[in-house]
Chain A
Amino acid sequence: MRIAAIGLVPDLTLQLAKLAAMSAGGKVIASYSFSLTRSDIGYLENIQPDILLFSGGTDGGNSRYVLENARKLAASSLSCPVIYAGNRAAAEEVVDLMPAKEVIVTENLMPEVGQVNLEPAREKIRDLFLKRIVSGRGLSEIVDLFGTPPQPTPLAVFELISAIPQYQTDWSDLAAIDIGGANTDFYSNTESYLETDTVILKGIREPKVKRTVEGDLGLRVSAHSLADSGWAYLEERLKGLGLEVERLRKHLDKIALDLDYLPQSEEETLFDRLLAETCVYYAALRHSGGWRETYTPQGRVYVQTGKDLRRVKAIVGSGGFLAASGSAETMRRPLQKLRTYGQERKLLPEKPLFYADRQYLFSLLGNLVGKYPKEATALAVALLENLKDED
């Protein structure tokens, strides 16, 4: 599901719009804050997203930008449905301004500054997916056959990750990573902020269940963009192992074109593993929050931004490379390396156990969570393979 996200302030409503889109299983293909420009509109017309998630302003707060942007969107040739999840006080006017578009109004993503309300918008995105995309792409036969509509893989995994701690009490704090050919997905289910006197949270308090998806991190289609984004990590690893950069470049050229390519030599296997580590490193970097140490006249305090993953007890390699051939080390090493990033102490799982979803069942079981939550979650954790250290 290709979603374009619009918010007002980048760190507030836009950030939430992106989180809502990703948590609903979508991929954010464009995102804008403040006023849309003519070229922004042109770009949107060109890419024609499946859904436009439109937010901005607290309830009763700013309406200037959403109204201005509604006018611009109304005059565009965008044909996708628009989910409006912005300032409630402006909702009716927004609908009136876009008579030719299908506008679905739902609750504000941020009714007050700092209050996060993603579920209603997420629900609407899900509904739209089922209505539009399922019937549009001939998936209705599946609905007839199984009695329930199919869910896109990331949404199904999200639902499963949400449900596991509810029904399997030993699995209270967990995360999952799915490295595919094009994207890397990172899911977490843990409290994002533990309030204490010495830790001050800045920015939004992120949701307990969160998914981020990185379109530039992947092992095949996105291999080149992965190397671009992740060069710092890759280079250091190559050096450490005494491998040649040129040979990795050749490998990248090969795999970016041949999506089903499987490593043929020991060296290629190692390259794939290094690339997977790089995906883990950068997906975790972007998903997790950090602490910055500051000294104040009252003593030392930590300023937290983003999500605290320290209490995560289990990390599951849930698809793609990690499910098939991942080892604990493929996840542990990059996470270990990431503990400090610049001046920040990253809030990563402190003593996680690593698991693999070897048979790649998470997304299938996620489809069953709605009807059989107990059974589906029990099966999901029972089928996980506990990854022992190899080194």
Chain B
Amino acid sequence: MNQENRSNQKLEFRNMDQDTIILGVIGADCHSVGNKILELFFTAEGFKVLNLGVMVSQQEFINAAIETNAKAIFVSSLYGHGDIDCQGFRDLCLEKVLDRILLYVGGNLVVGKTPFEIVEEKFKKMGFDRVFPQTST
């Protein structure tokens, strides 16, 4: 996550200490390292973080968000099938009356070298509030 994104995030959440956010790697993806780093980072930033780990389904994200009254779901995907795994995520949220939840997605979201702008547009069309590329600086 780059500097610019990080500062934006702080703005949005500044006065919401101990809000719950849900983290997880979606689909059949087993990359767990980045997710653990995110967990440490957001915990240090004062959030209550629920990390669902790897291979998380849409329904699992949503179940956890309902029980915890979470403010945001942060979806990670590294293996290139993020666009398939994330399809209909926002619709399912609405279906389950999670109508105000923030949906963020980040990682290596599609197969191949697609320009990030196109990836971003694709995921925003799916209903994600923010989309992050796979950058580590």
Contacts and interface: CB of A to CB of B under 8 A. Distances in A.
Nearest to A64: B69
A273 to B, nearest CB: 40
A182 to B, nearest CB: 33
B103 interface: no
A13 B67 contact: yes
Given A200-B53, A200-B54, A294-B55, A301 B30 contact: yes
A8 B69 contact: no
A261 interface: no
A343 interface: no
B99 interface: no
Q: Counting chain B CB atoms within 10 Å of each CB, which of A13, A57, A64, A298 scores highest?
A: A298
Given A296-B29, A297-B79, A200 B67 contact: no
A57 B55 contact: no
Interface in B56-85: 57, 59-60, 63-64, 66-70, 79
Given A11-B63, A294-B55, A296-B79, A58 B68 contact: yes
Contacts of A63: 69
Nearest to A65: B66
A323 B67 CA distance: 42
A133 interface: no
A88 to B, nearest CB: 13
Nearest to B57: A202
A202 B60 contact: yes
B67 A62 contact: yes
Contacts of A11: 59, 63
A327 B48 CA distance: 53
Contact of B55 (A56, A62, A303): A303
A8 B66 contact: yes
B67 A113 contact: yes
B72 to A, nearest CB: 14
Contacts of A12: 63-64, 67
B63 A61 contact: no
A141 to B, nearest CB: 45
Contact of A57 (B18, B50, B52, B69): B69
B20 interface: yes
B35 to A, nearest CB: 13
A298 to B, nearest CB: 4
B66 A62 contact: yes
B20 A295 contact: no
B22 to A, nearest CB: 8
A13 B67 CA distance: 8
A9 B54 contact: no
A112 interface: yes
A112 B59 CA distance: 17
Contacts of B30: 200, 296-298, 301
Given A113-B50, A200-B53, A296-B28, A58 B67 contact: yes
Interface string A1-37: 0000000110111000000000000000000000000
Looking at B54, B67, B69, the one whose CB has the most chain A CB atoms below 10 A away is B67
Contacts of B67: 8-9, 12-13, 56-58, 61-62, 110, 113
A329 to B, nearest CB: 39
B68 A61 contact: yes
Interface in B21-66: 28-31, 48, 50, 52-55, 57, 59-60, 63-64, 66
A9 B59 CA distance: 10
Contacts of B20: 60-61
Interface in A108-163: 110, 112-113
Given A57-B69, A202-B57, A295-B28, 9 more contacts: A9-B67, A11-B59, A60-B69, A64-B69, A112-B68, A113-B63, A113-B64, A113-B68, A294-B55
Interface of A: 8-9, 11-13, 56-58, 60-64, 110, 112-113, 200, 202-203, 294-298, 301, 303
Interface of B: 18, 20, 28-31, 48, 50, 52-55, 57, 59-60, 63-64, 66-70, 79
5 contacts: A11-B59, A61-B67, A62-B67, A113-B63, A296-B79
Closest CB pairs A-B (n = 6): A61-B68, A62-B69, A298-B30, A9-B63, A61-B69, A113-B64
